[in-house]
Structures are given as C-alpha cells and as structure tokens.
C-alpha cells in the first residue's frame, strides 16, 4: 500500500578509514581508468552478464528455465569490480543471484545457461538450477537459496585456507536482508575471533525482497553492523566498477596479509524485481529511472569513449561478440540432454561401508527401494513407468501459463552500450 511505503533515499557513500571515497556513480571521475586492456575486459564482462541475464529472463518466459529466477541486472559493477581483483586461487561464494558471479569468475556461459535449463551439461549437472550455480575448478563455491546460508560456509572456507597454510582469501557476497539473519552475527564473531582471511561484501540493493532497508534493518549503515563483533567495515558505490575494484582490492590485501576480516557495503540497485515473479509494487518507476541513469555499463562506456580508450567501432564489435556468446549459450543448453531419470539420487551423499542402512527411500511404488539402488531398479519395472509418466506430465503446456503482461522485455544488454533516446518511454513499476 502506497501510504505504508517508506521512501528509499539514495545513500551517501562515505569514505572509509583505509580507502578513498567512491565516485558518485555518474562519471566515476574520482578514479583514473586502468590500462586499456583492463578497461575493455571490465566493460565486456559487464555487458556479457547484462545480456545473459536478459536472455535468461526470456528463456524463463518461454518455460525453458524452471524454478525461481533472480536476475542481477544493474548490479554488474559490484560483481565485476570484485572478481576482477581476485586471484585464481581465491574463493568466491554468493547467494541465489549469482549467474553473473560465475561468469565473471570464468565459468562458460554455456554451462550456466544449461544449468538454468536443468540439463546434464549444466555447471551443477542440472541439479541446482538458477539458485545453485557452482564451479569448483574456478573456486566459485556456489549460490545458496537460503538467505544468509553462505555466511558460515565462508567461515569454513577461510578456516580451510588456514589449515592448509594457504594465503587464499574468501570473498563472501550476500544481500542486505541477510545481515539480519542469525548466521550473520555468528559468522562475524568467528571470523574476527579466529582472524579468518575473509572479505564480507554486502550487495545492498536497498530492498530485502520487497521491503526497503529502512523497514527491515534497525541499523541502515550496514558497513558498521559488524563492528561490535570485531569486523570493521566501509562503504562503496557499487554502481562504479572502478570504485569497487579499488576498495575490494585493498580489503583482499588486508585479509591476505594481515588476516583481518572486513565488511564492505556496496550500494547497488537491481533494475529488475527480486525475482521473475515480483510485481514490484513497492517502488516507483521514477525511482527506477533515477537509478538507471547510473547504469554501470553506460557510465564506463561513455568514460572510455570520452578518453579515447575505445572507439564506437570497437563498442559495436564488443556488442556483437556478447550477442553471439549468449545465443550460443542458449543453443548449447537446448541441445544438452536431460539428466537420466535413474540418476535421481546420484551425488546426494557420500556413502561408504561405515554408513549402514538406506540413505534415501524411494516410495513412488508399492514396494519402496533404497535410493542408492535407483540406477538398477529405476531403469525398469514400475518405478521406470511412473517416472516416465511423471516426466511426460510435467512437460505438458500449462493450462494457465504466464500472464501476457509478465514479459521480460527490457532495454538491457546490447542497448546498455548504446545511447538511450530521451523520448523513449520509461519502464518500471508503479
């Protein structure tokens, strides 16, 4: 209800004790551009994530991607600014909005899209879907569907680095809503107590689902929320990829060299709803449009063009490369096979002779059987028939479907690299 809504003001980004203040998100003038190659890599990675998210939304609209879908459209600078200063042997762990995090760490968009489609070639073999992207090879330790569920796991990763005598750092990214969970306080306390090499980065997009930060957190300066537990924090403009790089780089150094866990609060904004099913009645389209002016892709592109770091022709070539990579990802995901039905119970538990009994029970038939025997029993007989019948039923078109107004059309991706027509009608929510 409008009269109950609390206005969400644009936050002031404060200067922390060990870092310079972030830019204003409009021109990033406070931060000099890095070398041309780095600039191009930052811009193209952000554009790739934007285009991937747009296409993921379209595929979800066509019921190709199942389950829930949380898009990070608008938050690319926080993602790419962070991953661009991490080493290959550092760990990254995120939440349920992590398609872009995996891509930024180097996971092939083909495997990420296949995971959204629930296919065998997905990065989690089709078992995880949108909220559980995972890539051990690149030390991306997954997205997690439980709010704040990744926090204690990050502490475990940091502790593992100490056990092994490694100087690897764990970067734990989570949303503003997770700072209210019990896991937050417990993890901060252990990280400070044991001096774990962790950078906690809260992606503060100003809303916990549909609740503004003023209404869900008594302390709205999240950078200070862990100070009483021994974890100091700073704020940064999460719409400015150069500011994020500078701040996160320094805090990774502190974690690696000084074993000091810290908290970075990055102000960012999702141009989409919390999920694909979000009607977005809690914010106005004027608010969305104001934040769109700070589009991190357009901001960096304009800066690079103005300083002759990139040409219009190079921008067009970049746009085409991104387009082809995303379309190839969709084609790859479409061609990837479905996981075989008899693999239903694979990879659930690590089971040895020391664990007696059944670790899973399949009760789809009048004669239940152990889940670990599914590959033998599930390939024939009544269990096979029932599984095939269920799969066939699930594949039928819905009688209701998605509403016509539930579209995923947007000006994201390629158009983020283009100048916007001032007369173009605004898009957002009332």
**Distances from the Cα of 255 to the Cαs of 81, 195, 250, 351, in angstroms?**
17, 9, 9, 36
pLDDT in tens, 264-279: 999 998 887 777 777 6
The number of beta carbons lying within 10 Å of the beta carbon of residue 4 is 7
DSSP string, 407-420: ----S-GGGGGSPP
d(Cα 430, Cα 423) in Å, to the nearest integer? 19
Element (H, E) at 93: strand 91-93
Torsional class of 381: left (φ above 0), alpha (ψ -120 to 50), beta (otherwise): left
Which pLDDT does position 395 carry in this prediction?
62
The pLDDT, as a whole number, for residue 145 is: 87
What is the chain's Cα-based Rg? 23
For 280-298, give one letter per residue: b (16+ CB within 10 A) or e. Answer: bebbbeebbeebbebbbbb
CB atoms within 10 A of CB 18: 13
For residue 170, the cross-strand partners are: 91, 198
Q: Where are the beta strands (DSSP E) in 129-253?
A: 170-175, 198-204, 207-208, 211-212, 233-237
Phi, psi of 141 (to 5 degrees): -90, 20
Task: For residue 7, give every residue at least 6 positions away whose Cβ sits within 8 Å of its Cβ, in sequence order, or none.
Answer: 212
Rounded to an integer, what is the distance from CA 27 to the centroid of its chain?
25
Is 12 buried (19+), middle (13-18) or exposed (0-12) by CB count in 10 A? exposed
Other beta carbons within 10 angstroms of residue 126's beta carbon come to 21
186-199 pLDDT, tens per residue?
999 999 999 999 99
**Number of C-beta neighbours around residue 188 at 10 A:** 25
Q: What share of the chain is helix, strand, coil (3-state, %, to 5)?
A: 45, 10, 50
- Count CB neighbours of 257 within 10 A: 11
Q: What is the rounded distance in angstroms from the CA atom of residue 134 to the CA atom of residue 125?
A: 10
Q: Domains in the chain, start-ordered, CATH in brackets?
A: 17-335 (3.40.50.970), 341-394 (no CATH)
Strand 198-204 and strand 207-208: pairing? unpaired
320 contacts: CB under 8 Å, gap ≥ 6: none
Flag residues of the chain having pLDDT under 70: 1-30, 279, 350-357, 394-430
Beta bridge partners of 208: 211
Q: Give 243-272 as a DSSP string.
A: HHHHHHHHHHHIIIII---EEEEEE---SS
Q: E strands along 101-169, which residues?
A: none
């Amino acid at each position: 209800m409008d009269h109950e809504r609390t206005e969400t003001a644009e936050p002031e980004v404060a200067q922390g004790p060990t870092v310079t203040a972030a830019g204003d998100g409009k021109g990033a003038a406070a931060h000099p551009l890095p070398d041309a190659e780095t600039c191009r890599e930052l811009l193209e990675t952000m554009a790739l994530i934007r285009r991937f998210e747009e296409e993921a939304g379209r595929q979800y609209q066509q019921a190709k991607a199942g389950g829930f879908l949380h898009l990070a459209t608008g938050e690319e600078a926080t993602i790419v600014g962070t991953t661009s200063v991490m080493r290959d042997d550092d760990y990254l762990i995120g939440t349920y909005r992590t398609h872009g995090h995996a891509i930024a760490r180097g996971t092939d968009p083909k495997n990420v899209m296949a995971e959204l489609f629930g296919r065998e070639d997905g990065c989690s073999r089709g078992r995880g879907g949108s909220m559980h992207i995972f890539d051990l090879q690149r030390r991306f330790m997954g997205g997690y569907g439980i709010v704040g569920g990744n926090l204690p796991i990050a502490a475990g990763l940091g502790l593992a680095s100490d056990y092994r005598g490694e100087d690897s750092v764990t970067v734990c990214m989570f949303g503003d809503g997770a700072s209210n969970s019990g896991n937050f306080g417990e993890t901060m306390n252990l990280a400070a107590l044991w001096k774990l090499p962790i950078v906690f980065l809260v992606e503060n997009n100003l809303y916990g689902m549909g609740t503004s930060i003023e209404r869900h957190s008594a302390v709205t300066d999240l950078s200070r929320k862990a100070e009483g537990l021994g974890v100091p924090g700073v704020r940064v403009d999460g719409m400015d990829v150069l500011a994020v790089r500078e701040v996160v780089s320094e805090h990774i150094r502190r974690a690696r060299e000084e074993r000091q866990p810290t908290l970075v609060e990055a102000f960012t904004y999702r141009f989409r709803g919390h999920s694909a099913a979000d009607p977005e009645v809690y914010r106005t389209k004027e608010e969305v449009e104001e934040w769109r002016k700070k589009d991190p892709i357009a901001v960096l592109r304009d800066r690079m063009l103005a300083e002759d770091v990139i040409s219009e022709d190079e921008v067009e070539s970049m746009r085409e490369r991104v387009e082809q990579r995303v379309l190839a990802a969709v084609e790859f995901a479409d061609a990837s096979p479905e996981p075989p039905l008899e693999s239903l119970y694979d990879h659930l538990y690590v089971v040895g002779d020391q664990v007696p009994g059944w670790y899973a029970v399949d009760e789809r038939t009048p004669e239940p059987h152990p889940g670990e025997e599914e590959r033998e029993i599930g390939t024939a007989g009544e269990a096979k028939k029932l599984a095939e019948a269920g799969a066939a039923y699930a594949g039928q078109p819905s009688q209701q479907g998605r509403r016509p107004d539930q579209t995923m059309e947007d000006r994201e991706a390629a158009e983020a690299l283009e100048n916007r027509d001032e007369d173009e009608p605004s898009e957002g929510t009332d």
